[in-house]
Structure 1
Amino acid sequence: MNRETINAKNAPTPRGGYSQAVKIEDFKKLLFISGQIPVSDDDKVPETFEEQARLVWRNIDAQLKAAGMSKADLVKVTTFLSDRHHATANREIRSEYLGAIAPAMSVVICAIFDEKWLLEVEAIAAQ
């Protein structure tokens, strides 16, 4: 697969761990990951945002591994936050998980399906 990060010089520079666009060609697998929620496999929801965010990324990782893929294959991530006050913690935990990987990304502030959930993250991966 050919993967190219696109950050046009005549558009805003990305601020913090993402690319303005990611172009993929000649891929064999394309995985669409539904919104992953902060619920553990034993149906528990952590109380703090930090715990919820780490759980969501573990759930994404589980879906990637089940498909024979890894976080290095992520090309697009959309995060839904229940409150903009979680933005800094979200960025830090996302960066902790992704490291140098910089997929295309969006963050949306919105009401989330269950009021206990402080975030939900969906993703697209390609290999």
Structure 2
Amino acid sequence: MIQIMTTNPQMEIITHDPADGVYATTDDYVHAVEVRDAQRLLFVSGTMGLDPSGAAGATLGEQLDLVWANLRAILASAGMTVDNIVRLTSYLRDASYAEENAAARVKALGGRTIPTTAIVVQTLVSDWLVELEVVAAG
């Protein structure tokens, strides 16, 4: 399946999600997106669910709310929104966090699908339950 989306007049995002010759994706991600005529790329380092004082949210849900708020602030500083995100990597402290993380991503992106990967890692600080890294284009 190929779907063309436009996030600004100069840029096209074309979804490539073939049904033949490769395993099927689920409803919450796609195999690839092609970005045409982007004028800017923004690479966001791993962003955690920390409040402005640097304290981690007490639960996974709180950290997911914080991490998406933090990403929106970082994107806004570059004149972008979550609509500009074209790639996302999730680093999860525990595999059991995958479903809640995916639901938060789908909600934050308004149902828009992008290429995404989730990796289970030992975080540098045990209170950090999730870290998200994104690439945005505009």
Which band: TM-score by shorter chain? over 0.9
For structure 1, the 5+ residue unaligned runs are none
- The structure with higher relative contact order (CA 8 Å, sep 6+) is 1
**Aligned partners of 2:37 and 2:102: how far apart in 1?**
31
TM-superposed CA distance for 1:41, in Å, is 0.9
Q: Which residue of 2 aligns with 1:7?
A: 17
Question: Does structure 1 residue 117 correspond to structure 2 residue 128?
Answer: yes
The structure 2 residue matched to 1:105, chosen from 95, 107, 116, is 116
Structure 2: which 5+ runs fail to align?
1-10
Structure 1 stretches of 4+ moved >6 Å: none
Q: Secondary structure at 1:65's aligned position in 2?
A: helix
Aligned alpha-carbon RMSD (Å): 1.0
Question: Quick one: which of 75, 87, 97 aligns to 2:98?
Answer: 87
Equivalent residue for 1:16? 27
Count of matched residue positions in the alignment of Structure 1 and Structure 2: 127
Name the stretch that deviates more: 93-102 or 64-73. 93-102
- Measured after TM superposition, the shift of residue 125 of structure 1 is 0.3
Match of 1:91, SS state, is helix
Residue 13 of structure 1, CA deviation: 2.1
User: Contact 2:106–2:113 at 8 Å: present in 1 too?
Assistant: no
Deviation at 1:46, TM superposition (A): 1.2
1:41-63 Cα offsets, whole Å, 9 max, x none, are 12221110010011111111111
Residue 38 of structure 1: how far off its partner (Å): 1.4
Computing the radius of gyration over CA atoms, which structure comes out larger, 1 or 2?
Answer: 2
Q: Distance in 2 between matches of 1:69 and 1:38?
A: 20
Q: Secondary structure at the residue paired with 1:28?
A: coil
Write the distance in 1 (CA, Å) between the matches of 2:98 and 2:26: 13
Further displaced range: 64-73 or 16-25:
16-25
**Structure 1 residue 9: Cα displacement:** 1.8
